[in-house]
Chain A
Amino acid sequence: MLKRKKRNEAIENALADMARHKGGGSEFIQRMLRNKTGMIGTCICFVLIILCAGAPIFTKWDPYEQSLASKFILPNMEHIMGTDDFGRDLWCRLLYGGRYSLLIALGSAVISTVAGLVLGSCAGYFGGKTDLIITRFLDIIQAIPGLLLAIAISSALGSGPFNTMLAIAIGNIAGGARIMRSTVLSIRGNEFVEAAKATGSRDARIIFVHILPNTIAPLAINASMGIGGSIGAISGLSFIGLGVQPPTPEWGSILAVGKTYIRDFWPIVLFPALFIALTIFGFNLFGDALRDALDPKMRD
């Protein structure tokens, strides 16, 4: 009797405890905050996004106004990063350009990750004919070199930020889907998936509750790496006149134009490259931190 009472008490306590810790969100945020390198990455991303979103606050110049008299000015108090070949303020153009670069890169990473996730997990989970059809489709995408495919798609759709985003995303689906497929295959072999079937779970439930959350790590890494690659691809497209068209500022195209002047005027190459590198660095750290915060084995 006494034992029973004690047991009931323990259950009550545990229930109360669970109620207090409800909403794993707060715990997730705490764990993100505790991760130092992750916080650096998150801050970098955050600062970049704030700078680009609030560009008019952080610069007094206009990104389109040319002034041939003041071209190729080295960084000074007036132009903190100097001016480009048309005398436009570089700092200003980088901030406005970030709006396109970040949006396109993030957007294409999201599109390709989601599409890859759906295709890859269906192929991996259902196997058989579904797997065959999806894998062959991915083979077709991968048989065409990524940039060539992007060129083909954006020349078919026309230039412009949204089409560029789509063009780059489609080329990136295959890689993500393949990673997803192999991860799902390895997780599907685990006994806990069979155990879930043996308890009468539906396919959708098994995929969403048991398999997908276990694939976060490779997916987060792939997506954050993809952002860096996308910025490179955007600049490539812009360079051949298919991506974002000049005079619209965009990091890749600023870099591509600046290449001509690399021997005579270093700021026009260094600063956009720095922005791109910082973005990639920031998102990679953020991706790592995200993976760690979601992995229960990393808790203390």
Chain B
Amino acid sequence: MSLLEIRNLSIHFVSHKQDIAAVNGVDLTIEKGKTMGLVGETGAGKTTTALGILNLIQKPQGRFLSGEIIYKGRDLLKLSEDEMRKVRGKEISMIFQDPMTALNPILPVGEQIAEVIRLHEKCSDAEAEKKSLQMLEMVGIRAERSGEYPHQFSGGMKQRVVIAIALACNPSFLIADEPTTALDVTIQAQVLEMMADLRNRFGTSMLLITHDLGIVAENCDDVAIMYAGEIIEIGTLERIFHNPKHPYTLGLFGSIPSLDKDEDRLHPIPGLMPDPAALPRGCKFHERCDRACEACSELIQELVEIEPGHKVRCHRVVKGEI
């Protein structure tokens, strides 16, 4: 049974002069204990989708135009603010992108971990404190340091604290929004390894948002590629990596420099992501696509399963033309 199912989610940001279509009809299913990688370039709507799951879209500008987010049989978008507060941090928690600002500078780190525990679990202060120390040890920080403040920790250590906060109440679902983007490569590897370890131990499902395909390959069971607020290709890790179909996905893989070949230049996808306030008609990618035909600017393609566990949103792929 799936733990979280997003159906036809659309989120727009509406201001007095423009309507920004951040997320357009996203469908995602995350199974229990599995990790879904959500990949896409900046502005593709990945973070908006994540915040949408927690119903933390900035209102009144941000609006849910359509969609359901079914978590354990309940539609999160229909919950009251009180009920939703009980879900946040307890059932679903989130790791933020930038550990430098994700911690309150004037509270000791141990206190910040204990706070979540006190919020969601009926326990005494002493128990919460003890649990917070255990969490610190678990993410590899000595318990003596719990009285120290965020500025006394390095970036990687801060991210560990953030992870400790996110996991403090044993959530069933974890959203990691680019958890390693602000960290250097060795620390990235450590943090990811630790997250994988904790995930295995607690059986937590995860939505891992990133633009690094290498991280996806190491950590995910399924992959969804997002472009201009839509999922354009989704499938198991193996299918997507061995048999990418959508021209955008191919472009993403093509832009990674190879270590074996002697390459002088990188191969980026030409052009920029379309302005979300004025999305093109037809396929959102056709303006940058080197395989586009005339029909691409007109046809609106749905996600179609082309082989078991692999769906693509490209009419030329579906028709077998490319």
Contact B88 A192 (CB under 8 A): no
Known: A198-B93, A209-B115. A295 touches B106 (CB 8 A): yes
B contact residues around A214 at 8 Å (CB): 104-106
A contact residues around B134 at 8 Å (CB): 11
Known: A200-B85, A210-B104. A14 touches B144 (CB 8 A): yes
Nearest residue, chain A, Cβ from B137:
A7
B contact residues around A199 at 8 Å (CB): 88-89, 93, 115-116, 119, 165
Say whether A70 faces chain B, with CB atoms less than 8 Å apart: no
- Chain A interface helix/strand/loop/mixed: helix
Known: A191-B96, A195-B162, A214-B105. A14 touches B146 (CB 8 A): yes
Q: Using an 8 Å CB-CB cutoff, how does the interface string of A261-300 with B read, 1 for contact, 0 for none?
A: 0000000000000000000000000000000001111010
Contact A296 B119 (CB under 8 A): no
A contact residues around B120 at 8 Å (CB): 200
A contact residues around B108 at 8 Å (CB): 296
Contact A128 B60 (CB under 8 A): yes
A contact residues around B96 at 8 Å (CB): 191, 194-195, 198
Known: A194-B56, A200-B85, A200-B119. A11 touches B94 (CB 8 A): no
Say whether B267 faces chain A, with CB atoms less than 8 Å apart: no
A contact residues around B104 at 8 Å (CB): 192, 196, 209-210, 214
Nearest residue, chain A, Cβ from B61:
A128
Contact B89 A192 (CB under 8 A): no
Chain A contact-residue range equals: 20 to 34
B contact residues around A18 at 8 Å (CB): 110, 129, 146-147
Contact B101 A192 (CB under 8 A): yes
Known: A7-B137, A199-B165, A214-B105. A17 touches B147 (CB 8 A): yes
How far does the alpha carbon of A128 sit from the alpha carbon of B267 in the complex, in Å? 45
B contact residues around A296 at 8 Å (CB): 105-106, 108, 149, 151
Say whether B191 faces chain A, with CB atoms less than 8 Å apart: no
Chain B contact-residue range equals: 35 or more
Partner of A297, one of B90, B137, B142, B149: B149
B139 to chain A, nearest CB (A): 12
How far does the alpha carbon of A17 sit from the alpha carbon of B142 in the complex, in Å? 13
* B103-141 at interface with A (beta carbon < 8 Å): 103-108, 110, 115-116, 119-120, 129-130, 133-134, 137
Partner of B54, one of A17, A128, A198, A209: A198
Say whether B97 faces chain A, with CB atoms less than 8 Å apart: yes
Nearest residue, chain B, Cβ from A195:
B102
A contact residues around B147 at 8 Å (CB): 17-18, 21
Say whether A202 faces chain B, with CB atoms less than 8 Å apart: yes
A contact residues around B130 at 8 Å (CB): 11, 15
A271 to chain B, nearest CB (A): 42
Nearest residue, chain B, Cβ from A24:
B108
Say whether B143 faces chain A, with CB atoms less than 8 Å apart: yes
Nearest residue, chain A, Cβ from B104:
A192
B contact residues around A213 at 8 Å (CB): 106-107
Say whether B98 faces chain A, with CB atoms less than 8 Å apart: yes
B316 to chain A, nearest CB (A): 40
Say whether A10 faces chain B, with CB atoms less than 8 Å apart: yes
Say whether A197 faces chain B, with CB atoms less than 8 Å apart: yes
How far does the alpha carbon of A10 sit from the alpha carbon of B140 in the complex, in Å? 12
Say whether B87 faces chain A, with CB atoms less than 8 Å apart: yes
Contact B60 A297 (CB under 8 A): no
How far does the alpha carbon of A196 sit from the alpha carbon of B101 in the complex, in Å? 12
Say whether B74 faces chain A, with CB atoms less than 8 Å apart: no
How far does the alpha carbon of A210 sit from the alpha carbon of B103 in the complex, in Å? 10
Known: A15-B133, A17-B147, A200-B120. A10 touches B165 (CB 8 A): no
Say whether B281 faces chain A, with CB atoms less than 8 Å apart: no
Contact A297 B151 (CB under 8 A): yes
Say whether A190 faces chain B, with CB atoms less than 8 Å apart: yes
Partner of A200, one of B60, B88, B137: B88
* A177-205 at interface with B (beta carbon < 8 Å): 190-192, 194-202
B contact residues around A198 at 8 Å (CB): 54, 56, 88-89, 93-94, 96
Contact B144 A13 (CB under 8 A): yes
Partner of B97, one of A21, A191, A201: A191
Nearest residue, chain A, Cβ from B96:
A191
Chain B contacts to A: CB under 8 angstroms:
54, 56, 60, 85-90, 93-94, 96-98, 101-108, 110, 115-116, 119-120, 129-130, 133-134, 137, 142-144, 146-147, 149, 151, 162, 165
Having A13-B144, A199-B93, A200-B89, one finds 13 other A-B pairs with CB under 8 Å, namely A7-B143, A14-B133, A15-B133, A191-B98, A191-B102, A192-B102, A194-B96, A195-B96, A198-B54, A198-B94, A199-B119, A214-B105, A214-B106
6 cross-chain pairs, A with B, having the tightest CB-CB distances, nearest first: A199-B89, A14-B143, A200-B88, A200-B89, A296-B149, A191-B101
22 contacts between A and B (CB under 8 A): A10-B142, A10-B143, A11-B130, A11-B133, A14-B144, A15-B129, A15-B133, A191-B98, A192-B101, A192-B102, A195-B165, A196-B104, A197-B56, A198-B88, A198-B89, A198-B93, A199-B115, A199-B116, A200-B87, A209-B115, A210-B107, A294-B106
